[in-house]
């Protein structure tokens, strides 16, 4: 037995004692192998995992770790059916139909229907997502994808359960930790210096992230001194959760000193951990008021005279975010009495200006005067306008705080506007800028609610030059040849699942400076912002990689041997279904 294998096996035996069930022992082997290969090659990887598979043939994680994908109730090597898939007549017809002309909205809908009839579920999903990427306000498409509208957000049943689980877990964490944190807060504010010191030491030794909600909600809302104690605690615990909490306090704390200390603490954290969250909080807000006379047809009488209601005013509240635009339209209507001299034809059944309706109102001069006076004097218009103005003022103040944190954290010189910072991050992280943001218009009538829209799902996009090979179900293919509906090999980092997933969207970006990575006997080029999964560290941009970092692959890890400046070339992006 090799000297490399002996200590590794000894460690595995210590981690997997005999009293554990076979599945538990096998899972321990998998996790130990993954942990070991984060820092070095594991020559015995295949033998160890095959032994775990023999002991627990139904354990998914073992199959994924050795590079197998599920095939119905069976398992196969990820590349075992390339030739068979290439010869599949249904898939060949699908590719021919898809490639025969430009993929417009109508074509996506047509292809989704055809794929559904042929049992090509992944390809059907890809074209349905493509429809939503162009226009997210399509309830029928959301429902076909298995989503349900819950308080304005489209969620799957699994997502609903997960949100409920997270909420319940948060409540349990608060119930468990709040009493302890309350006592801790009392001791931190005690008049005795020694009691304060003991409490501070007790706080420093809390490493359970389940305590974070109770600590933040208690310490950050009482006094500046308690909030500073919390910032010191979060600063000493380097986790993504504490990084996001520091970013939150850097902009929402009511105390300047606390915001300043939280910002200073962020200087030691990776930009990629908190900048996206701050950018998501930026908003460019605009409001407009329209109090011109308009009408909406709500029905017709038995004599086919239109029944209308007069719009006394409309306020549009436009909120531009980094990836979409939300328009809130508040409309106040007044239903007038039956009009005796209705016009025979109205312009449409939607909200428009209408000379025909004006003529009707002129025939009812008293009614017109009453409505005009109501429109001009309506207190609710002023109330709603004032409410939107307050929201804009608060948003502008939040933007100013975010600008400061971004400037200090990045050192970048960027104009104070959401668009400027969104564009800066797109350049820094080498990600695509959405020039044609989808607009979601949400109309509120008296008594209705206004809700937001969730983002479309998708994994971090690829940013790779032409010629980069991507493994598909048909084998390796150059990235620039892939289209919506092609299935590529993908790994879920959280669960470890290895599977073929459909491409939801492809884009091409203008020439970008690339980073060249040496990987044993080959090289790979990517944009500076392309994300790689580094074993033992998580997602890292190409610009953050160091020689010796080990990139996760299908059958183990490969070390980065050297890093150099690459070419300047156009890059191709893939967004893959999760």
Return the bridge partners of 571, or none: 465, 509
pLDDT at 467: 86
Per-residue pLDDT for 93 more than 90?
yes
Question: What value does the CA radius of gyration of the chain take, rounded to a whole number of Å?
Answer: 30
Q: Is pLDDT larger for residue 522 or for residue 27?
A: 522
Q: In the chain, which segments carry CATH 1.25.10?
A: 173-268
pLDDT digits (tens, 9 = 90+) for 461-509: 557 888 888 889 999 899 999 999 999 998 887 778 889 999 988 888 8
- Reply yes or no on domain 464-576 having CATH 2.170.16.10: yes
pLDDT at 149: 81
pLDDT at 246: 96
CATH for 173-268, among 1.25.10, 1.10.3470, 1.20.58, 1.10.10?
1.25.10
pLDDT at 295: 56
pLDDT at 482: 92
**Which spans in 37-88 are helix H?**
45-55, 60-65, 82-86
Q: Is pLDDT larger for residue 459 or for residue 76?
A: 76
pLDDT at 5: 40
Over range 407-427, report the average pLDDT: 90
Q: In the chain, which segments carry CATH 2.170.16.10?
A: 464-576
* CA–CA separation, 547 and 354 (whole Å): 70
pLDDT at 542: 86
Over range 441-459, report the average pLDDT: 37
Min mean pLDDT across 251-265, 298-312, 333-347 is at 333-347
pLDDT at 15: 43
**pLDDT over 70 percentage in the chain:** 73
| pLDDT interval class at 426 (50, 70, 90) | confident
Min mean pLDDT across 107-111, 153-157, 383-387, 536-540 is at 383-387
Over range 45-54, report the average pLDDT: 83
Over range 292-321, report the average pLDDT: 59
| pLDDT interval class at 217 (50, 70, 90) | very high
Ranges 28-32, 143-147, 365-369, 511-515, most confident: 143-147
Contacts of 512 (CB under 8 A, 6+ apart): 430, 463, 527, 528, 568, 569, 570, 571
**pLDDT over 90 percentage in the chain:** 35
φ and ψ at residue 136, rounded to 5 degrees: -75, -10
Ranges 18-22, 389-393, 422-426, most confident: 422-426
Ranges 124-138, 147-161, 195-209, 297-311, most confident: 195-209
Neighbouring C-alpha atoms within 13 Å toward the C-beta of 51: 12
Taking the CB of residue 59, how many other CB atoms lie within 10 A of it? 20
φ and ψ at residue 412, rounded to 5 degrees: -80, 150
E strand or H helix at 294: strand 294-300
């Amino acid at each position: 037995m090799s000297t490399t294998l002996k200590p590794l096996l000894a460690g595995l035996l210590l981690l997997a004692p005999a009293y554990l069930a076979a599945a538990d022992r096998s899972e321990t082997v998998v996790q130990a192998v993954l942990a070991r290969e984060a820092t070095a090659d594991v020559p015995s990887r295949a033998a160890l995992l095959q032994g775990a598979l023999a002991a627990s043939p139904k354990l998914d994680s073992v199959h994924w770790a050795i590079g197998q994908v599920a095939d119905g109730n069976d398992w196969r090597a990820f590349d075992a059916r390339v030739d068979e898939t290439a010869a599949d007549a249904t898939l060949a017809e699908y590719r021919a139909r898809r490639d025969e002309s430009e993929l417009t909205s109508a074509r996506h809908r047509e292809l989704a229907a055809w794929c559904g009839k042929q049992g090509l579920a992944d390809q059907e999903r890809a074209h349905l997502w493509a429809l939503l990427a162009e226009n997210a306000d399509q309830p029928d498409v959301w429902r076909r994808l298995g989503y349900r509208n819950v308080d304005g957000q489209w969620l799957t049943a699994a997502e609903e359960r997960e949100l409920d689980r997270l909420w319940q877990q948060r409540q349990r964490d608060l119930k468990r930790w709040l009493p302890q944190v309350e006592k801790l807060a009392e001791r931190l504010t005690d008049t005795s210096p020694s009691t304060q010191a003991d409490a501070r030491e007790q706080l420093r030794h809390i490493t359970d992230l389940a305590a974070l909600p109770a600590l933040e909600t208690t310490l950050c809302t009482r006094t500046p001194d308690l909030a500073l104690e919390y910032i010191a605690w979060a600063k000493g615990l380097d986790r993504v959760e504490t990084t996001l909490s520091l970013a939150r306090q850097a902009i929402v704390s009511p105390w300047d000193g606390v915001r300043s200390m939280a910002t200073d603490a962020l200087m030691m954290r990776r930009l990629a951990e908190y900048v996206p969250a701050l950018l998501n909080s930026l908003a460019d807000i605009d409001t407009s008021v329209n109090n011109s006379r308009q009408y909406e047809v709500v029905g017709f009488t038995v004599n086919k005279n239109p029944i209308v209601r007069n719009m006394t005013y409309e306020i549009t509240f436009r909120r531009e975010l980094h990836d979409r635009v939300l328009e809130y339209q508040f409309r106040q209507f007044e239903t007038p009495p039956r009009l005796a001299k209705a016009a025979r034809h109205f312009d449409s059944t939607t909200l428009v200006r209408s000379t025909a309706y004006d003529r009707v109102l002129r025939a009812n001069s008293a009614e017109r005067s009453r409505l005009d006076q109501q429109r001009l004097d309506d207190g609710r218009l002023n109330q709603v306008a004032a409410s939107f103005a307050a929201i804009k003022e608060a948003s502008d103040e939040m933007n100013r705080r975010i600008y400061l944190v971004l400037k200090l954290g990045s050192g970048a010189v960027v104009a104070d506007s959401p668009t400027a910072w969104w564009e800066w991050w797109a350049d820094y992280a080498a990600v695509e800028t959405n020039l044609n943001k989808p607009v979601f218009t949400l109309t509120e009538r008296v008594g209705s609610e206004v809700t937001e829209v969730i983002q479309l799902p998708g994994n971090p996009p690829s940013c790779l030059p032409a010629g980069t090979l991507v493994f598909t179900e048909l084998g390796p293919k150059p990235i620039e040849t892939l289209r919506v509906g092609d299935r590529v090999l993908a790994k879920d980092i959280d669960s470890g699942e290895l599977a073929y997933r459909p491409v939801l969207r492809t884009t091409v970006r203008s020439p970008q400076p690339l980073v060249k990575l040496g990987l044993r006997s080959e090289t790979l080029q990517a944009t500076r912002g392309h994300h790689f999964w580094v074993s033992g560290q998580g997602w890292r941009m190409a610009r953050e990689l160091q020689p010796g970092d080990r990139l996760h692959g299908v059958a183990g890890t490969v070390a980065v041997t050297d890093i150099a400046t690459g070419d300047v070339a156009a890059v191709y992006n893939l967004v893959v279904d999760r």
